[in-house]
Structure 1
């Protein structure tokens, strides 16, 4: 009897040891792989704008760098000074120096460093300011096209120091192109153009001083 009791106790103790082993021995969890870092974004270098003109007519913040860096020089005591002319609109910045330069006084040189920069900002008003007439069409009466108004804001800068010299607003003028574009035989309106002669007249004091 005592022998049976001893065997039974040993069996219970052995079972307890086994149970303890089962409870306390657990496999270590597999290490969780850390998410890989995303590859670095490719670096892109945007081309600087053609000039330091502010992004809008209401802004006074000139841009840097710009395509004029290294091409400007201080205005001297004797003029006229070389002019650079840019249009800023929703399409970006366009160099129209050649077009504006045609309205400079006879004999004005555009050689050397840029000394005066003009930034033009067009703002359509959609008001009818006239028509352009007489556009011929095959087998149809001549076509007349409405001219819609545009308000132009101009900002003139000393090219070297980027100091604002003048700001002014002028209405656009009716300029009729040689041909017009139509969509389903409906003519596309013509926008009033910048009055380059009036702009140059306004700038003459800055170009000559």
Structure 2
């Protein structure tokens, strides 16, 4: 999904003329919507998505956790004969396997949009969430990434506002895209700052 200058809100375009090129680098092509007619609509504008590496990071971390659970269950059953450990362990492993199966579809349901007055963040298939964060209400913009994230060159961007319920975390951004988005949002937020 490319972002032409005509599709970017004018106030954001003035702050970051080449942001679209960086924000859409190595991301998914189109945001996935639930099939239900009662879904939350996407609306107009250009939606930016997560980097493809986000899925690999999630699969590796969930798979590693599943291996730890499997090792614990095997240890309990083989060394101490606690066969009951397969019941909770099996349920937990089934949940982790299901999580790994739906991760690629889930990652394609994340998206964010830069509008004239706010940033809109969308996620979820079954439990959908759409949050609009006004630029003037942003208090802190934080970039974090763990060792696995750094290995794949991605980061997460957290937007903090005065209301805790409207805080937004955008995971799986390319490092360069996260830095560009942070700089753009800080510049726009400063120009739109309201009396808090």
- Please indicate, yes or no, whether the TM-score normalized by the shorter chain is above 0.5: no
- Which has more strand, going by share of residues? 1
TM-score bracket, shorter-length normalisation: under 0.3
Rg comparison, structure with higher value: 1
Greater RCO structure (CA 8 Å; 6+ sep): 2
TM-score by length of 2: 0.26
